[in-house]
Structure 1
Protein backbone atom coordinates (compact mmCIF):
# COMPACT_ATOMS: atom_id res chain seq x y z
CA UNK A 1 0.00 0.00 0.00
CA UNK A 2 1.30 3.44 -0.86
CA UNK A 3 1.27 6.44 1.44
CA UNK A 4 -2.07 8.20 1.16
CA UNK A 5 -0.71 11.71 1.78
CA UNK A 6 2.69 13.13 2.66
CA UNK A 7 1.85 13.39 6.35
CA UNK A 8 -0.04 10.08 6.57
CA UNK A 9 1.89 6.91 7.20
CA UNK A 10 0.78 3.40 6.38
CA UNK A 11 -1.21 3.17 9.58
CA UNK A 12 -4.71 1.76 9.68
CA UNK A 13 -6.75 2.30 12.84
CA UNK A 14 -9.83 0.16 13.46
CA UNK A 15 -12.43 1.38 15.93
CA UNK A 16 -15.86 0.37 17.16
CA UNK A 17 -17.67 -0.91 20.20
CA UNK A 18 -16.45 -3.80 22.29
CA UNK A 19 -17.27 -6.99 20.40
CA UNK A 20 -17.48 -5.30 16.99
CA UNK A 21 -14.63 -7.42 15.63
CA UNK A 22 -11.78 -4.91 15.83
CA UNK A 23 -9.17 -7.40 17.04
CA UNK A 24 -10.19 -10.21 14.69
CA UNK A 25 -10.46 -8.01 11.59
CA UNK A 26 -7.35 -6.04 12.56
CA UNK A 27 -5.22 -9.14 12.93
CA UNK A 28 -6.46 -10.60 9.63
CA UNK A 29 -5.93 -7.29 7.83
CA UNK A 30 -2.40 -6.98 9.19
CA UNK A 31 -1.59 -10.51 8.00
CA UNK A 32 -2.99 -9.78 4.55
CA UNK A 33 -0.94 -6.56 4.24
CA UNK A 34 2.13 -8.00 5.96
CA UNK A 35 1.85 -5.20 8.54
CA UNK A 36 2.42 -5.31 12.27
CA UNK A 37 -0.76 -5.76 14.33
CA UNK A 38 -1.21 -3.71 17.51
CA UNK A 39 -4.09 -4.01 19.96
CA UNK A 40 -4.09 -0.73 21.89
CA UNK A 41 -5.73 -2.25 24.99
CA UNK A 42 -3.15 -5.07 25.09
CA UNK A 43 -0.28 -2.56 24.82
CA UNK A 44 -1.75 -0.69 27.81
CA UNK A 45 -2.05 -3.94 29.79
CA UNK A 46 1.56 -4.85 28.95
CA UNK A 47 2.82 -1.40 29.89
CA UNK A 48 0.99 -1.26 33.22
CA UNK A 49 1.19 -5.01 33.92
CA UNK A 50 -2.43 -4.71 35.04
CA UNK A 51 -5.50 -6.24 33.32
CA UNK A 52 -7.71 -3.68 31.59
CA UNK A 53 -10.72 -4.20 33.84
CA UNK A 54 -8.56 -3.85 36.95
CA UNK A 55 -7.14 -0.55 35.65
CA UNK A 56 -10.67 0.82 35.34
CA UNK A 57 -11.82 -0.54 38.71
CA UNK A 58 -8.73 0.40 40.77
CA UNK A 59 -7.52 3.58 39.10
CA UNK A 60 -10.48 4.89 37.13
CA UNK A 61 -11.14 5.83 33.54
CA UNK A 62 -9.13 9.07 33.63
CA UNK A 63 -5.96 7.19 34.54
CA UNK A 64 -6.61 4.67 31.77
CA UNK A 65 -7.26 7.43 29.19
CA UNK A 66 -4.01 9.22 30.10
CA UNK A 67 -1.99 6.05 29.45
CA UNK A 68 -3.99 5.42 26.28
CA UNK A 69 -3.12 8.89 24.98
CA UNK A 70 0.61 8.33 25.66
CA UNK A 71 0.53 5.03 23.79
CA UNK A 72 -1.27 6.57 20.81
CA UNK A 73 1.33 9.34 20.66
CA UNK A 74 4.01 6.65 20.35
CA UNK A 75 2.12 4.43 17.90
CA UNK A 76 1.57 7.21 15.37
CA UNK A 77 5.35 7.30 14.85
CA UNK A 78 5.30 3.75 13.51
CA UNK A 79 4.74 2.71 9.93
CA UNK A 80 3.06 -0.29 8.30
CA UNK A 81 0.76 -1.21 11.18
CA UNK A 82 -2.88 -2.03 11.80
CA UNK A 83 -4.04 -0.78 15.19
CA UNK A 84 -7.23 -1.78 17.00
CA UNK A 85 -8.26 1.10 19.24
CA UNK A 86 -10.09 0.74 22.50
CA UNK A 87 -13.87 1.16 22.28
CA UNK A 88 -13.62 4.56 24.01
CA UNK A 89 -10.43 5.89 22.41
CA UNK A 90 -12.33 8.35 20.23
CA UNK A 91 -14.07 10.00 23.20
CA UNK A 92 -11.05 12.31 23.23
CA UNK A 93 -11.05 14.76 20.29
CA UNK A 94 -7.24 14.96 20.48
CA UNK A 95 -7.02 11.21 19.86
CA UNK A 96 -9.32 11.56 16.84
CA UNK A 97 -7.17 14.36 15.43
CA UNK A 98 -3.91 12.49 16.00
CA UNK A 99 -5.23 9.24 14.53
CA UNK A 100 -6.78 10.86 11.46
CA UNK A 101 -3.64 12.92 10.84
CA UNK A 102 -1.50 9.79 11.04
CA UNK A 103 -3.44 7.18 9.12
CA UNK A 104 -6.75 5.82 7.93
CA UNK A 105 -9.52 5.40 10.50
CA UNK A 106 -12.05 2.60 9.99
CA UNK A 107 -15.22 2.17 12.04
CA UNK A 108 -16.71 -1.32 12.32
CA UNK A 109 -20.40 -0.64 12.88
CA UNK A 110 -22.26 -3.36 14.74
CA UNK A 111 -25.81 -3.42 16.08
CA UNK A 112 -26.21 -3.49 19.90
CA UNK A 113 -28.08 -6.83 19.75
CA UNK A 114 -25.20 -8.38 17.78
CA UNK A 115 -22.64 -6.93 20.21
CA UNK A 116 -24.48 -8.54 23.12
CA UNK A 117 -24.63 -11.90 21.33
CA UNK A 118 -20.87 -11.76 20.79
CA UNK A 119 -19.79 -10.74 24.31
CA UNK A 120 -22.56 -12.25 26.47
CA UNK A 121 -20.61 -15.38 27.42
CA UNK A 122 -17.20 -13.71 27.64
CA UNK A 123 -15.33 -11.83 30.38
CA UNK A 124 -15.91 -8.65 28.33
CA UNK A 125 -19.57 -8.59 29.42
CA UNK A 126 -18.53 -7.23 32.81
CA UNK A 127 -17.44 -4.02 31.07
CA UNK A 128 -21.14 -3.17 30.68
CA UNK A 129 -21.60 -2.97 34.45
CA UNK A 130 -21.89 0.37 36.14
CA UNK A 131 -19.03 1.17 38.54
CA UNK A 132 -21.12 0.50 41.67
CA UNK A 133 -22.46 -2.88 40.49
CA UNK A 134 -20.91 -6.20 41.48
CA UNK A 135 -18.88 -7.91 38.75
CA UNK A 136 -20.87 -11.13 39.11
CA UNK A 137 -24.20 -9.41 38.43
CA UNK A 138 -25.86 -11.07 35.45
CA UNK A 139 -27.46 -8.70 32.97
CA UNK A 140 -30.60 -9.76 31.18
CA UNK A 141 -30.75 -9.29 27.42
CA UNK A 142 -32.90 -6.17 27.55
CA UNK A 143 -30.71 -4.36 30.12
CA UNK A 144 -27.57 -5.28 28.18
CA UNK A 145 -29.08 -4.06 24.91
CA UNK A 146 -30.09 -0.74 26.49
CA UNK A 147 -26.63 -0.25 27.99
CA UNK A 148 -24.90 -1.01 24.71
CA UNK A 149 -27.28 1.31 22.87
CA UNK A 150 -26.55 4.07 25.42
CA UNK A 151 -22.78 3.61 25.08
CA UNK A 152 -23.11 3.69 21.29
CA UNK A 153 -25.05 6.97 21.39
CA UNK A 154 -22.23 8.57 23.38
CA UNK A 155 -19.42 7.20 21.23
CA UNK A 156 -20.86 7.15 17.73
CA UNK A 157 -20.08 10.82 17.06
CA UNK A 158 -16.39 9.95 17.31
CA UNK A 159 -16.81 6.70 15.40
CA UNK A 160 -18.48 8.51 12.51
CA UNK A 161 -15.36 10.67 12.08
CA UNK A 162 -13.86 7.59 10.43
CA UNK A 163 -12.63 7.69 6.86
CA UNK A 164 -14.40 4.38 6.21
CA UNK A 165 -17.46 2.85 7.88
CA UNK A 166 -18.00 -0.91 7.50
CA UNK A 167 -21.30 -2.48 8.55
CA UNK A 168 -20.43 -5.86 10.08
CA UNK A 169 -23.99 -7.24 10.03
CA UNK A 170 -24.08 -10.73 8.49
CA UNK A 171 -20.42 -10.51 7.46
CA UNK A 172 -17.66 -12.84 8.54
CA UNK A 173 -14.20 -11.47 9.38
CA UNK A 174 -12.70 -12.40 5.99
CA UNK A 175 -15.44 -10.50 4.15
CA UNK A 176 -15.02 -7.51 6.47
CA UNK A 177 -11.29 -7.44 5.66
CA UNK A 178 -12.03 -7.60 1.92
CA UNK A 179 -14.45 -4.67 2.32
CA UNK A 180 -11.82 -2.72 4.26
CA UNK A 181 -9.22 -3.28 1.53
CA UNK A 182 -11.66 -2.31 -1.22
CA UNK A 183 -12.64 0.87 0.63
CA UNK A 184 -9.02 1.80 1.34
CA UNK A 185 -8.17 1.50 -2.36
CA UNK A 186 -11.20 3.65 -3.20
CA UNK A 187 -10.13 6.22 -0.59
CA UNK A 188 -6.55 6.35 -1.86
CA UNK A 189 -7.74 6.96 -5.41
CA UNK A 190 -9.87 9.90 -4.17
CA UNK A 191 -6.97 11.56 -2.35
Structure 2
Protein backbone atom coordinates (compact mmCIF):
# COMPACT_ATOMS: atom_id res chain seq x y z
CA UNK A 1 0.00 0.00 0.00
CA UNK A 2 1.42 3.40 -0.93
CA UNK A 3 -0.73 5.14 1.73
CA UNK A 4 -0.75 5.22 5.53
CA UNK A 5 -4.06 6.14 7.20
CA UNK A 6 -3.64 7.92 10.56
CA UNK A 7 -7.27 8.66 11.46
CA UNK A 8 -10.63 7.07 10.77
CA UNK A 9 -12.32 8.58 7.73
CA UNK A 10 -16.03 9.10 8.29
CA UNK A 11 -18.14 9.32 5.14
CA UNK A 12 -21.10 11.70 5.52
CA UNK A 13 -23.83 12.90 3.21
CA UNK A 14 -27.31 12.28 1.95
CA UNK A 15 -28.86 8.91 1.26
CA UNK A 16 -27.73 7.93 -2.21
CA UNK A 17 -24.53 10.00 -2.12
CA UNK A 18 -22.39 6.85 -2.40
CA UNK A 19 -21.06 6.62 1.17
CA UNK A 20 -21.14 2.81 1.18
CA UNK A 21 -19.90 2.27 -2.39
CA UNK A 22 -17.12 4.86 -2.16
CA UNK A 23 -16.30 3.94 1.43
CA UNK A 24 -15.89 0.26 0.52
CA UNK A 25 -13.65 1.07 -2.47
CA UNK A 26 -11.62 3.53 -0.38
CA UNK A 27 -11.09 0.97 2.39
CA UNK A 28 -9.97 -1.62 -0.15
CA UNK A 29 -7.59 0.88 -1.79
CA UNK A 30 -6.07 1.94 1.56
CA UNK A 31 -5.98 -1.61 2.97
CA UNK A 32 -8.10 -0.80 6.03
CA UNK A 33 -11.44 -2.14 7.29
CA UNK A 34 -14.75 -0.71 6.09
CA UNK A 35 -17.48 -0.30 8.69
CA UNK A 36 -21.03 0.96 8.31
CA UNK A 37 -22.70 2.48 11.38
CA UNK A 38 -26.18 1.54 10.10
CA UNK A 39 -25.11 -2.11 9.63
CA UNK A 40 -23.68 -2.15 13.15
CA UNK A 41 -26.97 -0.80 14.55
CA UNK A 42 -28.94 -3.43 12.61
CA UNK A 43 -26.66 -6.18 13.99
CA UNK A 44 -26.94 -4.92 17.57
CA UNK A 45 -30.73 -4.50 17.43
CA UNK A 46 -31.37 -7.57 15.28
CA UNK A 47 -33.88 -5.54 13.25
CA UNK A 48 -33.80 -3.29 10.20
CA UNK A 49 -33.48 0.46 10.51
CA UNK A 50 -37.02 0.83 9.17
CA UNK A 51 -38.24 -1.52 11.94
CA UNK A 52 -36.30 0.44 14.59
CA UNK A 53 -37.81 3.72 13.32
CA UNK A 54 -41.29 2.18 13.35
CA UNK A 55 -41.02 0.50 16.75
CA UNK A 56 -38.88 2.94 18.75
CA UNK A 57 -38.95 6.19 16.76
CA UNK A 58 -36.23 8.35 15.25
CA UNK A 59 -35.00 9.91 18.57
CA UNK A 60 -34.25 6.42 19.97
CA UNK A 61 -32.48 5.47 16.74
CA UNK A 62 -30.36 8.65 16.84
CA UNK A 63 -29.23 7.90 20.43
CA UNK A 64 -28.16 4.39 19.42
CA UNK A 65 -26.44 5.78 16.34
CA UNK A 66 -24.34 8.16 18.48
CA UNK A 67 -23.34 5.28 20.79
CA UNK A 68 -22.35 3.07 17.85
CA UNK A 69 -20.36 5.82 16.07
CA UNK A 70 -18.51 6.53 19.34
CA UNK A 71 -17.65 2.85 19.73
CA UNK A 72 -16.52 2.52 16.10
CA UNK A 73 -14.30 5.60 16.36
CA UNK A 74 -12.47 3.83 19.21
CA UNK A 75 -11.45 0.91 16.98
CA UNK A 76 -8.47 0.82 14.61
CA UNK A 77 -8.28 3.34 11.78
CA UNK A 78 -10.90 2.49 9.21
CA UNK A 79 -13.35 3.93 6.73
CA UNK A 80 -16.69 4.47 8.46
CA UNK A 81 -19.88 5.09 6.52
CA UNK A 82 -22.67 6.75 8.48
CA UNK A 83 -26.38 7.10 7.90
CA UNK A 84 -27.55 10.29 6.23
CA UNK A 85 -28.80 11.79 9.50
CA UNK A 86 -25.79 10.97 11.68
CA UNK A 87 -23.87 14.18 10.94
CA UNK A 88 -26.84 16.38 11.90
CA UNK A 89 -26.08 15.85 15.58
CA UNK A 90 -23.64 18.39 16.99
CA UNK A 91 -22.41 15.70 19.39
CA UNK A 92 -21.61 13.38 16.48
CA UNK A 93 -19.89 16.13 14.46
CA UNK A 94 -17.70 17.05 17.43
CA UNK A 95 -16.84 13.40 18.20
CA UNK A 96 -16.02 12.68 14.54
CA UNK A 97 -13.85 15.79 14.19
CA UNK A 98 -11.94 15.04 17.42
CA UNK A 99 -11.26 11.37 16.66
CA UNK A 100 -11.36 11.17 12.87
CA UNK A 101 -12.02 13.24 9.79
CA UNK A 102 -15.36 13.76 8.06
CA UNK A 103 -15.68 13.66 4.27
CA UNK A 104 -18.90 15.00 2.78
CA UNK A 105 -19.84 13.30 -0.46
CA UNK A 106 -21.72 16.25 -1.94
CA UNK A 107 -24.23 15.24 -4.58
CA UNK A 108 -26.95 17.35 -6.16
CA UNK A 109 -30.61 16.56 -5.62
CA UNK A 110 -31.16 15.13 -9.13
CA UNK A 111 -28.33 12.63 -8.76
CA UNK A 112 -29.59 11.61 -5.31
CA UNK A 113 -33.16 11.18 -6.54
CA UNK A 114 -32.00 9.01 -9.47
CA UNK A 115 -30.20 6.76 -6.99
CA UNK A 116 -32.92 6.42 -4.34
CA UNK A 117 -36.24 6.64 -6.18
CA UNK A 118 -36.52 2.90 -6.85
CA UNK A 119 -35.50 1.76 -3.35
CA UNK A 120 -37.98 1.14 -0.56
CA UNK A 121 -35.30 0.80 2.13
CA UNK A 122 -35.36 4.50 3.05
CA UNK A 123 -37.78 5.01 5.97
CA UNK A 124 -37.67 8.80 5.69
CA UNK A 125 -38.93 8.62 2.09
CA UNK A 126 -42.02 6.56 2.90
CA UNK A 127 -44.27 9.57 2.30
CA UNK A 128 -46.97 10.45 -0.26
CA UNK A 129 -44.44 12.60 -2.17
CA UNK A 130 -40.96 11.09 -1.68
CA UNK A 131 -39.25 13.54 -4.10
CA UNK A 132 -40.61 16.53 -2.20
CA UNK A 133 -39.55 14.87 1.07
CA UNK A 134 -36.04 14.26 -0.32
CA UNK A 135 -35.81 17.94 -1.35
CA UNK A 136 -36.90 19.08 2.12
CA UNK A 137 -34.37 16.78 3.83
CA UNK A 138 -31.67 17.97 1.43
CA UNK A 139 -32.36 21.66 2.10
CA UNK A 140 -32.31 21.09 5.86
CA UNK A 141 -29.13 18.98 5.89
CA UNK A 142 -26.81 20.68 3.39
CA UNK A 143 -25.79 23.50 5.81
CA UNK A 144 -24.80 20.86 8.39
CA UNK A 145 -22.96 18.64 5.90
CA UNK A 146 -21.05 21.77 4.85
CA UNK A 147 -19.40 21.65 8.31
CA UNK A 148 -17.53 18.47 7.31
CA UNK A 149 -13.74 18.59 7.44
CA UNK A 150 -13.47 17.85 3.71
CA UNK A 151 -15.94 18.05 0.82
CA UNK A 152 -15.80 15.96 -2.34
CA UNK A 153 -18.23 16.75 -5.16
CA UNK A 154 -20.07 13.75 -6.66
CA UNK A 155 -20.76 13.75 -10.36
CA UNK A 156 -23.09 11.41 -12.26
CA UNK A 157 -20.34 10.61 -14.79
CA UNK A 158 -17.83 9.54 -12.10
CA UNK A 159 -17.24 5.84 -11.64
CA UNK A 160 -16.72 4.48 -8.13
CA UNK A 161 -12.99 4.30 -8.88
CA UNK A 162 -12.81 7.91 -10.11
CA UNK A 163 -14.74 9.11 -7.08
CA UNK A 164 -12.41 7.11 -4.81
CA UNK A 165 -9.41 8.80 -6.47
CA UNK A 166 -11.02 12.19 -5.77
CA UNK A 167 -11.55 11.30 -2.10
CA UNK A 168 -7.90 10.15 -1.77
CA UNK A 169 -6.79 13.45 -3.35
CA UNK A 170 -8.84 15.37 -0.76
CA UNK A 171 -7.53 13.23 2.13
CA UNK A 172 -3.92 13.67 0.98
CA UNK A 173 -4.24 17.42 1.65
CA UNK A 174 -4.38 16.42 5.31
CA UNK A 175 -1.05 14.76 6.30
CA UNK A 176 -2.50 14.17 9.79
CA UNK A 177 -5.03 11.86 8.13
CA UNK A 178 -3.30 10.28 5.11
CA UNK A 179 0.34 10.20 4.07
CA UNK A 180 2.55 8.33 1.66
CA UNK A 181 4.41 5.39 3.15
- TM-score, structure 1 normalization: 0.85
1:161-172 correspondence runs (5 A): 161-170=147-156, 171-172=158-159
Match of 2:172 in 1: 185
Tell me if the contact between 2:21 and 2:160 (Cα under 8 Å) persists in the aligned partners.
yes
Match of 2:161 in 1: 174
- TM-score, structure 2 normalization: 0.89
- TM-superposed CA distance for 1:125, in Å, is 4.7
Match of 2:135 in 1: 149
Over the residues paired in the alignment, what is the CA RMSD in angstroms? 2.0
Deviation readout 1:91-131 (Å, 9 max, x if unpaired): 2101000001111110011111211111122223553124x
- TM-superposed CA distance for 1:2, in Å, is 4.6
The unaligned stretches of length 5 or more in structure 1 are 4-8, 131-138
Give the ranges of 4+ consecutive aligned residues of structure 1 lying more than 3 Å apart after TM superposition: none
Aligned length: 175
**Separation of aligned partners in 1, 2:33 and 2:74:** 13
Tell me if the contact between 2:120 and 2:126 (Cα under 8 Å) persists in the aligned partners.
no
**Separation of aligned partners in 2, 1:146 and 1:62:** 23
1:106-117 correspondence runs (5 A): 106-117=103-114
Does residue 58 (structure 1) correspond to residue 55 (structure 2)? The answer is yes
